[in-house]
Amino acid sequence: MTEALSRSPLARFIALVEQRLGLHYEPEQWGELAPLLFERSASRGMEGYLSLLNSTASEAEWRALAERLTVGETYFLRHPAQLEVLVSKVLPSFAQPGAPIRVLCAGCSTGEEPYSIALLCREQGKVDPAQLRVLGIDVNPRAIAHARNARYSPWSLRSVPQALRERWFQRSSEGFFLRPALRDQVLFEERNLLEDAPAFWAPASFHVILCRNVMLYFPAEVTRKIIARMSQALVPGGYLFLGPSETLRGISEDFELLRSADAFYYRRKAPAPAAAAVPVSAPVPAAVKASVRQPPPMQEGLDALLPLLDAERYAEAWARLDALPQAALPQGQLLRAVLHLNAGRFAEAEHAGQQLLSMRDTEASAHFLLGVCLEHSGDDAGARNRYAAAARADPTFALSHLRAGTLARRAGNVAEARVALRMALSLLPQEKPLRLTLFGGGFGRHGLMQVGLRELQACTEVP
């Protein structure tokens, strides 16, 4: 980007949108926002309009921009495997006589998700409806008004079985209205996830938070901030549900990844005992190394560290790696780079990845690792180039095709995304276990197959 472009009114407008709404746009997407800027600034002039957005009198204008820029297409019973485990397993685990169960749906759009939760809870009968408190929040005021009105088109109900339609919706010439008993069980609130609100995000405010398919559009630093707030707001052992293709790897270590059938979700970890809290970024004292239980002789070596990575026991893996003579070998350096990555130390991970590029045995993995670093910094275009380089270095590297296809779909390159995702799905059954452990983002082979299938399905839904 040239210096002149970086100071242009459009660049300043986009910077304000990122700062206020948290929406991230790559330079190649800027042209899509230019007509909106010209339209909204017509009456005041460009400089006057940008000054308005920076002033205390800009609230109404930001509400209007939120309506135009956030388009949350959703529908009832979306991602049913997650909803099933939420309603049948997670929510009943918090049931106590007379105690409320509080659920937050962040980025709820027009309300289909929170209403789906209330509907399924009534259908299954495992949670007393009187105890369930469901709150939906969204930055888009028009979406919130739609949710409160609770009127939906047949397209929004496309996954709802006929029996449930008849039981919970009333049909009219204007569409399907949710019946009052269900509609009144859910509350909605206009709220920006980026704004500080200590009272709203107070500790132990919610038992479950759903934030599905929202983080895909935020840069990594914004995602980390939002997830940290959500972690604080959950009760100990509370649950977080993200979209099927979203992961907390490199974003937060506050959660453990769980799986039930085809559903993946996160549970907030219990606070670690003080004696076990050894930061990965600091040198590990000899006394701590000595206290780490040593593996049996047959498990000595780098392979013994892989179960620790699977269990996200990074501090223990770091301590063992330092004690191994193989730590200086390329595979040992790769493990060190991955530990940096999982601890959110992206500068150190990138430095290690650059050093590994020159080594034939680790070239493909190094490119992939550098791609992850770029993706977390918000440089999706650079990340795609790295994933492509990883695939050239080793065409059988399924995960590089998967990430490249995912990013291509986000960028709107549907044909390219389909090719990469189909390649990933053909290669994943034979993907090396080591790569799944290092770069699977906490997902196993089956989970990654499900991610790939959902990404490919999203491509086929594009006109």
Tens of pLDDT, residue by residue over 224-234, are 999 999 999 99
268 forms beta bridges with 255
Name 314's Cβ contacts closer than 8 Å, sequence gap at least 6.
Answer: 253, 280, 308, 339, 342, 343
Rounded mean pLDDT of 116-145? 92
pLDDT in tens, 3-34: 444 478 888 888 888 777 766 666 766 776 78
CA–CA gap between residue 124 and residue 126 (Å, rounded): 6
CA dihedral 51, 54, 57, 63 (to 10 degrees): 110
If DSSP states are collapsed to H, E and C, what string results for 38-103? Answer: HHHCCCCCHHHHHHHHCCCCCHHHHHHHHHHHCCCCCCCCCCHHHHHHHHHHHHHHHCCCCCCEEE
Burial (CB count <10 Å: 0-12, 13-18, 19+), residue 86: buried
CATH topology of domain 5-69: Chemotaxis Receptor Methyltransferase Cher; domain 1 (1.10.155)
pLDDT the model gives residue 124 = 93
* Residue 301 scores a pLDDT above 80: no
pLDDT computed for residue 189 by the predictor:
93
- For 416, residues 6+ apart whose C-beta sits below 8 A from its C-beta are 405, 408
Q: Where are the domains of the chain?
A: 5-69, 80-268, 302-459
Of residues 292 and 30, which shows the higher confidence score?
Answer: 30
Mind listing the pLDDT tens digit for each residue in 85-108?
999 999 999 998 888 999 999 999
CA distance 331 to 305: 12
- What pLDDT, on a 0 to 100 scale, did the predictor assign at position 188? 94
Query: What pLDDT is stored for residue 178 in this prediction?
Result: 95
Is 80-268 in CATH node 3.40.50.150?
yes
CA nearest neighbour of 403 among 264, 247, 263: 247
4 CB-near residues (< 8 Å, 6+ apart) = none
Residue type, 268: R
- The pLDDT value recorded for residue 211 is 95
Angle (CA) 156-132-230 rounded to 5° is 80
CATH among 3.40.605.10, 3.90.1490.10, 3.90.580.10, 1.25.40.10 for 302-459: 1.25.40.10
Rounded to a whole number of angstroms, the CA Rg of the chain reads: 24
Identify the weakest region by mean pLDDT among 168-172, 268-272, 281-285, 326-330.
281-285
80-268 shares the fold of 5-69: no
Residues in the chain: 463
Whether pLDDT at 346 is above 50: yes
pLDDT score of 72 more than 70: no
Environment class of 190 (CB within 10 Å of its CB; exposed 0-12, middle 13-18, buried 19+): middle
pLDDT digits (tens, 9 = 90+) for 421-436: 888 888 888 788 778 8
Residue 68 confidence (pLDDT) above 80? no
d(Cα 83, Cα 134) in Å, to the nearest integer? 14
For residue 298, what pLDDT band results from cuts at 50, 70 and 90?
very low
Q: Is the pTM of this model over 0.75?
A: no
- Side-chain-side CA neighbours of 48 within 13 Å: the count stands at 7
Lowest mean pLDDT among 86-90, 318-322, 395-399: 318-322
Two tokens, residue 51: 């000054």
